[in-house]
Chains A and B, each alone.
Chain A
Amino acid sequence: MKKPHTIFLKTGISVLGWTVALLLFFPILWTVLTSFKTEVDAIAFPPSFLPTQWTLENYFEVQERSEYFTHFLNSVAISVGSTVLGMLLAIPAAWSMAFQPTRATRHVLMWMLSTKMMPAVGALVPIFLIFKTAGLLDTLFGVTFILVIANLPIMVWMLYTYFKEVPADILEAARMDGATTLKELFYVLLPMSLPGVASTMLLNVILAWNEAFWTLSLTAIKAAPLSAFIASYSSPQGLFWAKLSAASTLAIAPILVLGWMSQKQLVRGLTFGAVK
């Protein structure tokens, strides 16, 4: 009696899962398909799902009209730079909170998380003015710096959670064996929490790559990453859907590939310690 019920439940959950996944994926699929359509095809009504005529013209034009690779390199510099810089700050912070906690640690963690809940636009004007005065507008350093600050709470939180999983005994053993704090970090703590460290870095690269608010607000040409490159296709001359889609596809492709390759690592890292 129980078996048909289980099969029904399993099928139901599978169908639901696939429906949700397809719904979430549909905009991306639509964008990719549109990028291969002609402009006429792209705005046709009723819309056609597949291009009536497949074309690569949009991609050529996008590359011709704007410097995709410059923006791509900017995106790489900003996401990798903010991740490396962020880790340099987050690792010691998470270490001290996990292994040398004080009475204030809990509150500091909550406070850090609460800063993520504040709408970024609330801080835009002061930050813009500071950047302007300091000459940081449209610089790679400036936008990297702001993304470090924006993502640091999440990095510290994630690392803190992973570090808490490492038994304090093992770090004490390292100390007894003559390891300095730095050696304890490099030889014991980081290798032991490698899945967590890797997924924190991956998530931060993805967050920084996808970030649009600060990158659009604080960059113009020189330091503009791919988010600005996409936005440049919504021009006063009108929206060119096919080209915009081509630009978007080019912008998300690298991170999509990275995410695809590392999904196992990401899932493992994000659920690390949940089933112990």
Chain B
Amino acid sequence: MGSITLKNIHKAFGDQVVIPDANLEIVDGEFVVFVGPSGCGKSTLLRLIAGLEDPTSGEVHIDGKDVTQASPGKRKLSMVFQSYALYPHMTVAQNIGFPLKMSGEKAATIRARVQEVAKSLDLLPYLERRPRNLSGGQRQRVAIGRAIIRQPAGFLFDEPLSNLDAALRVSMRLEISELHQRLGSTMIYVTHDQIEAMTMADRIAVMNAGRIEQFATPLELYRRPANRFVASFIGSPKMNFIDGERAAQYGAHAIGLRPEAISLSRKTGMWGGHVERVEHLGAETIVHVALDQGQKITVRTGIEDAVASGQTIFASPDGSQVYRFDENGLTLGFPENVPRSALM
């Protein structure tokens, strides 16, 4: 069991309020990702759950029990740090076995469990090495081994892949997802990378300035963003926002269009402009267009749509895929064609 509930969590460092009021319910076995720009409070929220920070007010519940005052070690949670935080003076085996040593397990039990965990993570040949003699990916696995050996109620990951190179990041992402499937434990994962968030999460909490803007499944966030911030943060390339007269036509302060919801033509279309830059990605092409009267948009097209920088071009939004926002950035209405199945 590993349900985690945050009730009216408020955190301030001196006069600076980092988390104004956070409420969250994470069900047992769920993979939840906290995503948001740097300094949005996602790591602080994770540390509050871990017990490494104390909330100024509010409660943290794990498995229905109030653990707000409990020390980190008593919360039955394991954490994988961005820096791995391995103990440099201990061997891999000692690192992995450390949590069991702290809970007073017998040496023989620890040895057996370390073997078991190391085997599952392909770390058996490295047990006697020190962390400094391991590669980045191996260190990451040791950190994961140390986290899983205690069979905790939940796992906390604080940007665990940001120190790895791109290729390793993709493979470790898969490993962590597999680990979640295998263990079925609750996992909370902090990242600023929305691709990581979208590919791994059951549900994502999008954070901005200490607030949880929306907590939903990846597809729901993509298709039915609660506000302009979520709409802009989820999706790559970003959603295009158009305001002024063009938005007024749709009865909104601003409208949002995904890059794939705009079509381009060299002859005719709703909005005129010129091509600023073209990015050929192979399977698709990203075209940056400067509309007349100054607004810039990004359009995703097929490879066959050969366009070149400087060309005059016309852009036409797909009317059925227009998101509308009011002056406070809240979503006024969703496009008609959002599949109902995406809603939870």
Contacts and interface: CB of A to CB of B under 8 A. Distances in A.
A177 B72 CA distance: 8
A239 interface: no
A154 interface: no
A172 B73 CA distance: 10
Contact of B52 (A175, A177, A191): A175
A20 to B, nearest CB: 37
Interface in A175-198: 175-180, 183, 187-188, 191-192, 194
Contacts of A64: none
A129 interface: no
Contacts of A194: 89
Interface residues of A, number: 18
B52 A172 contact: yes
B79 A173 contact: yes
B54 to A, nearest CB: 12
A183 B78 CA distance: 18
A192 B81 contact: no
Given A176-B52, A178-B99, A170 B73 contact: no
B83 A175 contact: no
A179 B73 contact: yes
A172 B99 CA distance: 13
Bin chain B's interface residue count. 20 to 34
A254 B98 CA distance: 40
A167 B85 contact: yes
Nearest to B81: A169
B71 interface: yes
Contacts of A170: 85-88
Contacts of B150: 177-178
Contacts of B51: 175
B81 A178 contact: no
Contacts of A175: 51-52, 71-73
A177 B98 contact: yes
25 contacts: A169-B81, A169-B83, A172-B52, A172-B81, A173-B146, A175-B51, A175-B52, A176-B72, A176-B78, A177-B99, A177-B102, A177-B150, A178-B73, A178-B102, A178-B103, A178-B150, A180-B73, A183-B102, A187-B87, A187-B98, A187-B101, A187-B102, A192-B87, A192-B88, A194-B89
Given A176-B50, A178-B150, 12 more contacts: A167-B83, A169-B81, A173-B146, A174-B87, A174-B98, A175-B51, A175-B71, A177-B78, A177-B99, A178-B99, A187-B101, A191-B89
Interface of A: 167, 169-170, 172-180, 183, 187-188, 191-192, 194
